[in-house]
Amino acid sequence: QSQELSQVQIDYHAALQTLLEDGTRMVCTGRMHTDRICRFESLCYSTEAEEFIYFHSNSSVMLPNLGSRRFQPALLDLSSVEDHNTQYFNFVELPAAALKFMPKPVFVPDVALIANRFNPDNLMHVFHDDLLPIYYTMQQFTDLDPETRLFFMEGWSEGVHFDLYKLLSNKQPLLREQLKTLGRLLCFTKSYVGLSKITTWYQYGFVQPQGPKANILVSGNEIRQFTKFMMQKLNVSLEESSTEEYIVVFSRTINRLILNEAELILALAQEFQMKTITVSLEEHSFSDIVRLISNASMLVSMHGAQLVMSLFLPRGATVVELFPYAINPEHYTPYKTLATLPGMDLQYIAWQNTAREDTVTYPDRPWDQGGIAHLDKAEQERIIKSTEVPRHLCCRNPEWLFRAYQDTKVDIPSLIHVIRQTVKSKPGPKKKWSGSLYPGKVRDARCQASVQGTSEARLSVSWQVPWNLKYLKVREVKYEVWIQEQGENTYMPYILSHQNHTFSENIKPFTIYLVWIRCIFNKNLLGPFADVLLCST
């Protein structure tokens, strides 16, 4: 990996001429600042002003052309965290003629992906906010090939996990600070700005208490494509052949400790008749952790960012998340949401310490490690007495931090009990992929009506199976039929096993009915409705 930009030779005078004549060209995807990614030619950056510059000329393009709405609140989010007001991107506009009075531009020949990392020192944030979004933004635009240069503009130093970011492309990523050493005015020949949010599953609680995102768009399949890529880059091979099953306890060594870890390990080994090992970020290399987790049957850990490593668990494995006293597992679900994404095929179990005598608190630590000594006495009393942290916003709620940084003596019988409610025999047989594919529309739907006298009628409806059925192995095929009288808001729903049915209940003569039919595979895979049938009795 090389830090120099001049790997691709460019003709400086031609590049300068193009910039002067054509100015900046921008075309974006997305309708709002929260879902926008922009492609630029000749986007520039002043390392003195620390601002991006858009140069206007007769040939420049700006789509969307938002006018002053570009500042309401910004053109786009530079990180994958939605609408965070410290992560906005915008540019300053200048006429291309102003270049005559500015420092000589230094051209960046590599195709650039320009973005912000959100919190590069926290492993959950690294994977969820940065690595997955960068990986899939690069999949979205073919220009963003393995020779892409990543530019991180958030202003942090490399951070402890920088090696992971380096895996995403063949070129050394550059940080905002380093741009100064390249020149006073940088011009990116071709660049993309912003990150796809399509893979994110969690919102951290900036505007409402934290929880799963409202509209999750990623499945375990895409997560596992990404982890496969990362494992190749880390030189970790999937040991399909290894037969030994084992449990991994992922421990924290600085805070939020498991106080009886040795006892816990013995108990797990004995209960499940499996080797049980511990890993920690402090004592193992990242590759070693990935290698161990990617073959584990069960991962047991305190709530915390290290649990994002369940990304690497094999299908069928079990995640056991331990919560300290007074922390309701239902209120903090980044790892539950991950483990239960459709197609992740992981089992998830939460255990909470409910025994006050098994917790160790640290009221005198600094506030950011959960100390509460800075609060007034009454508030300290209230927090210490409280049995559950009420729901709260991110990120400095002292009661939450106080409880989050407790150490815990795990009550072994109660933990084994909750695990046993889910894991009946041995944990984690590495199940095969059980892909869930949806039915197409039913075909050739028809209806026939018959009238019996003045008050009774029948409606016979028939249809053909969806054409994709013959290519699939489906356990159970059913049909849902809705019968709606024209002009009414309500309908009568039926679940049927055959491809025809005669309806006589509540069917009136001389009435028009709308008939909606869809196919259902395996109870919960609902297909689309076929075009509505109009049936007159």
Q: Could you list the residues that contact ligand UDP (CB under 6 A)?
A: 122-124, 252-255, 281, 304-306
Q: Spell out the SS3 assignment of 131-196.
A: HHHHHHHHHHCCCCCCCCEEEECCCCCCCCCHHHHHCCCCCCCEEHHHHHHHCCEEEEEEEEECCC
User: Minimal distance in Å, beta carbon 282 to ligand UDP?
Assistant: 6
d(CA 511, CA 508): 6
Q: Residue 413: enclosing H or E segment and its boundaries?
A: helix 412-422
Distance from the Cα of residue 322 to its chain's centroid: 22
Tokens linked to 418:
């909750």
- Helix, strand and coil content of the chain, in percent to the nearest 5, comes to 25, 25, 45
Q: Is 200 helix (H, G, I), strand (E, B) or coil?
A: coil
d(CA 21, CA 44): 15
User: Minimal distance in Å, beta carbon 260 to ligand UDP?
Assistant: 16
In degrees, rounded to 5, the angle at the alpha carbon of residue 385 between the alpha carbons of residues 380 and 388 is 105
CB closer to ligand UDP out of 305 and 344: 305
- Which of these, 339, 304, 303, lies nearest to 323 by C-alpha position? 303
Residue in this structure with the two tokens 């409610």, named with its chain if needed: 421
Q: What one-character DSSP code corresponds to residue 67?
A: G
Tokens linked to 75:
């053109």
Q: What one-character DSSP code corresponds to residue 126?
A: I
- Which of these, 153, 151, 191, 157, lies nearest to 172 by C-alpha position? 151
- Which of these, 284, 287, 280, lies nearest to 307 by C-alpha position? 280
User: Minimal distance in Å, beta carbon 81 to ligand UDP?
Assistant: 15
CB closer to ligand UDP out of 19 and 290: 290
CB closer to ligand UDP out of 120 and 427: 120
Task: Please list the residues that pair with 512 across neighbouring strands.
Answer: 536
Measured in degrees and rounded to the nearest 5, phi and psi for residue 513 equal -115, 145
User: Minimal distance in Å, beta carbon 393 to ligand UDP?
Assistant: 16
Q: Residue 115: enclosing H or E segment and its boundaries?
A: strand 106-115
8 Å CB contact between 325 and 403? yes
In degrees, rounded to 5, the angle at the alpha carbon of residue 140 between the alpha carbons of residues 134 and 141 is 100
d(CA 207, CA 151): 28
- Which of these, 332, 165, 200, 205, lies nearest to 256 by C-alpha position? 332
CA distances from 173 to 3, 116, 124, 181 (A): 8, 12, 20, 14
d(CA 190, CA 30): 19
- Which of these, 356, 404, 57, 384, lies nearest to 210 by C-alpha position? 404
User: Minimal distance in Å, beta carbon 391 to ligand UDP?
Assistant: 17
